[in-house]
Structure formats: structure tokens, C-alpha cells
Amino acid sequence: MSETTKQFNATEIAWGFPKFIHLDELNDSSSGFMVNDTCIIEVQILVSKSEQENQVDQQVNKIDDNHDIDKPIKHTDIFLPKETFPTSFGELVDFQGLGKIEQAFVPLLEEVFSRHPSLIDCQQKRSGRFVEWAFTALGRVLHFLKTKKVKDMDGDACNNLQIFWEELKMFRFDLTWLEPHVQSALAMKTCIERAVRVKRTREDVTALEMETKRLKAKMIQAEVDLEIARRDFVKAKEGFEECDLDAELGYGEP
């Protein structure tokens, strides 16, 4: 029997182990892995919650205790996402009797639900806790798109939106109406990068144009100075007889 462990966390990007054992070693009966043509693999998974998640769970449990409409979640193949970034935008308020939602999200959700009522219908058979998470995830994306400007969509903002979007898709809303807006926002990073390059190139062109003008003005002045020097040279030569500057001065009779 062979044992090994692997820890996954938010700061490490990994899929697991890059390799295990060779097939020949697995099939070798003396290695102890195969017994009667059978190999038993046992996996134990432990999930630890962050302090923030524990606080959220405590708050949600209090809300569940005060709502009679809560029902057990029938589908266990969907897991509640971990909040990667702090997203507190104000106090929590009751949202149409469905749970506590960030106050800043409420008008955005009401506007969207008036256009797409199926968003509420698809959550009717979910527990109160699940619904709160679902609507919070939706409100978070809506709030992001509503409050951010094109100039804000740098690398960090795009990464945040991508994570918010992936978490929202876990709740199985019909998001065909929202996806084009999200993808357009994510594409703004490329647009901003190109805009920055264009701006810098324009600044370089402007600087070179100014330098060219300065050099041209300097050239014109140099040509004027040269012409004046030529005229002075002509005047200086008038009536001048050259003499041998290296000749000895001498003394006595000439």
C-alpha cells in the first residue's frame, strides 16, 4: 500500500500530481498493488473553510432559521463557491422574501428580474441559503458591470470579473442575455492596452515633430550665421597681403 497527500489552495494553481507509477510496476503482483486482478484506490478529501466563509455560514444559518420556505437542496452536484474577493457594498436587506441581499444589488436585481422572470422561477425549489448565494453572485456581476468604466478594466479587474462570472455560472441561471455584456467587458483589457499603445505612439510622434521643428530652426539659423561669416571673410580679405607667418623676424640690415 502506498500513501500520499496533496493540498490545494487559492495561492497554488495545480491539477494534482504530474505522474504516479509506471504501468509495469502497477501490474507487478509482487508490488502489492494488484490483488486478484483488482486494484483498490482510496481517496480522502478534507475541505477547510476560511474565516470569511465561517462568518457567512453563521449569518446564513440565522437567516434560514427565520424562513419557513427553506427546503433541503435536492441536487447535491452543485457546490457553493468560495468568495475570492471582499464584496461588501453595504447592509443586507430582505429581497422579496427570498433572503438577505446586499442593498446595492437590490435595484439591479429587480430591474433584471422584471425582464427575465425565469431567473427567480429557476430558484424556487432551492433552499434559502442556496438562493441567497445565487442572487448575491448575480448581483455582484451586475454591480460590477454597472459601476465599472472602460478605463477601469485593467488586468486585475478582468481577473475579478472572470472569477465572478465563473462562480455565477455554477448556479445554472439562463445567462445567455448577460454573457455578451460580460465578454465585452473582458475584451476591454485588450482595447485599453491598444489605446495605451496608441497614446504613447502619438506622444512619441508629437515629441519627434517638435524636435524636428527645433532642429530645422537651428539649421536655418546656422545657415544665416554661415552666410554672415562668408561676407565677413570676403571683407577681411580685401587689401590683405599674405605673409609667411613662420618667417624669422631678424635684426640689423634689411
pLDDT reported for residue 70: 42
pLDDT reported for residue 45: 78
Q: What are phi and psi of 102, to 5 degrees?
A: -55, 135
DSSP state, 150?
G
Considering the entire predicted model, what is its pTM?
0.48
Inter-residue contact 41 to 1 (CB < 8 Å)? no
pLDDT reported for residue 72: 40
CA atoms within 13 A on the CB side of 188: 21
Reduced to 3 states (helix: H, G, I; strand: E, B; else coil), residue 17 is: coil
pLDDT reported for residue 172: 87
Neighbours of 251 (CB within 10 A): 5
Residue type, 238: E
pLDDT reported for residue 79: 43
| Joined grid coordinates for residue 155 | 488586468
Residues near 134 by Cβ (< 8 Å), separated by ≥ 6? 123, 126, 171, 173
The C-alpha torsion from 98 through 100 and 104 to 108, rounded to 10°, is -10
Q: Which long-range contacts (CB under 8 A, 24 or more apart) does 73-80 make?
A: 73/126, 73/127, 73/130, 74/125, 78/170, 78/171, 78/172, 79/170, 80/129, 80/130, 80/133
Alpha-carbon gap, residue 63 to 136, rounded angstroms: 14
DSSP state, 82?
P
Reduced to 3 states (helix: H, G, I; strand: E, B; else coil), residue 92 is: strand
pLDDT reported for residue 145: 95
Alpha-carbon gap, residue 8 to 15, rounded angstroms: 9
Q: How far is CA 203 from the centre of its chain?
A: 27
pLDDT reported for residue 226: 94
Inter-residue contact 164 to 83 (CB < 8 Å)? no
Angle, helices 128-147/179-186, rounded to nearest 10 degrees? 50
Render each residue's pLDDT in the chain as its tens digit; 254 residues. 566 777 766 555 556 666 677 788 888 878 878 887 788 887 777 766 555 455 545 554 554 454 443 444 343 334 444 444 444 566 888 888 888 889 999 999 999 999 999 998 888 788 888 989 999 999 999 999 999 998 899 889 999 999 999 999 999 899 999 999 999 999 988 877 777 788 889 999 999 999 999 999 999 999 999 999 999 888 888 878 788 888 887 776 65
Angle, helices 128-147/106-115, rounded to nearest 10 degrees? 100
The domains of the chain are located at: 51-191
Residues near 216 by Cβ (< 8 Å), separated by ≥ 6? none
